[in-house]
Amino acid sequence: MFMKKDGMRRAGAGIVLSFALVLSACSGSPAGNKPKDQEAATPDKEAPAAPVTLSLYQTGSSLSDEQFELFVSLLKVKMPHVTLKLVRDGKGTSPQDLITAGTFPDMIYTANPKFRELQNLQLIQSLDDLIRSKKVDLNIYDPQAIATIRNYSSRSELIAMPFSQNLGALFYNKDIFDKFGVPYPKDGMDWEQTLEVARKVARVDDGKQYRGLEATDARHIGSALSLPWVHPQTMTAAINSEPWKRVYQLIRDTNAIPNNQIPENEYGKSNDSFIKSQIVAMLPGWASGTSILLEEAHTKGTSFNWDIVSLPNFKDALGTGREYDIQAFLLSNTTKHKEQAFDVIQFLTSEYVQSIVTAKGKVSAINSPDMQKKYASELASYKGKNIASIFKNKSAKLNPPTEYDAIVISGLGAITKRLVTTNDDINTVMRDQEELTNKQIEAEKLKFK
């Protein structure tokens, strides 16, 4: 199980993990009667391949040590000639640092918002030729995952293999609802209904503040409406508009509920407030990341009675979740082991590996009802939970990506914080951040002239 936080990292460290294999999926079946999944993990019956050491660069998406150890263990069974090394983005190991040193890794594990930066650094390549030559079946993946990746290429090339996806959900603390005799939230609520529920539970009891609903980052609310980050014609920030103002007003309305204000020293600590302090009744979160933290609390004996419903949206967009957010493997443009590295990527994104990973709390990019049923099946904390709610919403349509999305997304975070921690007028907040963000975009443009 992935017991540590997804965000846990050893910044800047390149590590090679080796250990005794304990894989129940690869033992215990009589000869000649191997399950299909076991066959997928059996070494290929060919002449032994030459030993090779390959490196994987982790950036822009969390990968715990336990998750990487699982990759290593599975590879040691399927490809015993491969030694896999992990290099994390950090001080001294930024992409630029590694390019300068001539040591950039063979493969990259990241999320789609990071693709543009890696493209600008000329670090990635098309996988289409390898996919054709190795007869990779892309039909097993969610079509939206493939479309999202191709959207980052002007020639609609596939520059990554999908691994997992992030889906939003509304987590809630049943103990708080029971304490105050308030009915639980339901699947399919809109934001106004969710605010009404929050008003019923937000209160101070015995000197302790219970927040009904944690304010959500503007980025995530807006993404469920497919609001653009950047004007495609002018390449300027698109965050000062009436549609975005609707998002900002929701944040302000959430924070304006009596006893629902987030103290400034707790801002940005939503997971802790929900899981550790247990003072938040409803938390809009990511299924994959939150699942790991809830399982960790369960193992430590510090958990509580919680459940999940589908992520709310505005009434006119019900049934739509956040924009497609995908974690993927990319082939580095600097690798000297193109074929071997792609073989590793192909294996790690296979149905066999993803069925194992999704059982441990990662939402698979494989388009299969059976895969959805396996989600979190090995997490004790998820027993009896409304897991199906995670898959009720369809991901929102992704806007055409630009080189400046990351700058604008950071600006949306700044807007959210200002709306939550100050009483500044919304129009002023929008104008101020638009001006600052456009200056940052102009500075970024100069880097590529």
Same fold, 14-26+36-166+324-391 and 168-322+395-447: yes
The pLDDT tens digits of the residues spanning 263-314 come to 989 999 999 999 999 999 999 999 988 988 999 999 999 999 999 999 999 9
Q: Would you list the DSSP string of 99-144? A: HHHT---SEEEEEGGGHHHHHHTT-B---HHHHHHTT--GGGB-HH
Which residue, among 14, 11, 8, has the nearest Cα to 90 in the 3D structure?
Answer: 11
Average pLDDT over residues 374-400: 94
Predicted local distance difference test score (pLDDT) of residue 367: 86
Predicted local distance difference test score (pLDDT) of residue 419: 97
Measured over the CA atoms of residue 126, residue 130, residue 133 and residue 134, the dihedral's sign is negative
Residue 199 neighbours by CB under 8 Å, 6+ apart: 212, 257, 258
In contact, 244 and 430? CB cutoff 8 Å: yes
Q: Give the side-chain half-sphere CA count within 13 A for 279.
A: 20
Which token pair is 45?
A: 């019956």
The pLDDT tens digits of the residues spanning 142-167 come to 999 999 999 999 999 999 999 999 99
Predicted local distance difference test score (pLDDT) of residue 273: 97
Find residue 285's DSSP bridge partners: 169
Find residue 109's DSSP bridge partners: 58, 329
Say whether pLDDT at 3 is over 60. Answer: no
In contact, 53 and 85? CB cutoff 8 Å: yes
Mean pLDDT computed over every residue of the chain: 90
Predicted local distance difference test score (pLDDT) of residue 239: 98
Say whether pLDDT at 134 is over 70. Answer: yes
Which residue, among 26, 110, 111, 13, has the nearest Cα to 65 in the 3D structure?
Answer: 13
Predicted local distance difference test score (pLDDT) of residue 449: 66
Three-class DSSP category at 26: helix
Residue that is written with structure tokens 């990635």 in the block: 124
Pairwise CA distance, residues 423 & 420, whole Å: 8
Q: What is the CATH number of domain 14-26+36-166+324-391?
A: 3.40.190.10
Pairwise CA distance, residues 291 & 354, whole Å: 16
Pairwise CA distance, residues 202 & 112, whole Å: 36
Say whether pLDDT at 339 is over 60. Answer: yes
371: left (phi over 0), alpha (psi -120 to 50) or beta: alpha
Say whether pLDDT at 5 is over 50. Answer: no
φ, ψ for residue 444 (rounded to 5)? Answer: -70, -40
Task: Report the top-level CATH class of 168-322+395-447.
Answer: alpha beta
Say whether pLDDT at 13 is over 70. Answer: no
Predicted local distance difference test score (pLDDT) of residue 31: 37
Average pLDDT over residues 23-42: 43
Predicted local distance difference test score (pLDDT) of residue 44: 59
> Which residue would you say has higher pLDDT here, 19 or 335?
335
pLDDT bin (cut points 50, 70, 90) of residue 447 is confident
Residue that is written with structure tokens 């002018």 in the block: 234
Q: Please state the domain extents for the chain.
A: 14-26+36-166+324-391, 168-322+395-447
> Which residue would you say has higher pLDDT here, 248 or 46?
248
The pLDDT tens digits of the residues spanning 197-235 come to 999 999 999 999 999 999 999 999 999 999 999 999 999
Tell me, rounded to whole angstroms, the distance of Cα 181 from its chain centroid: 34
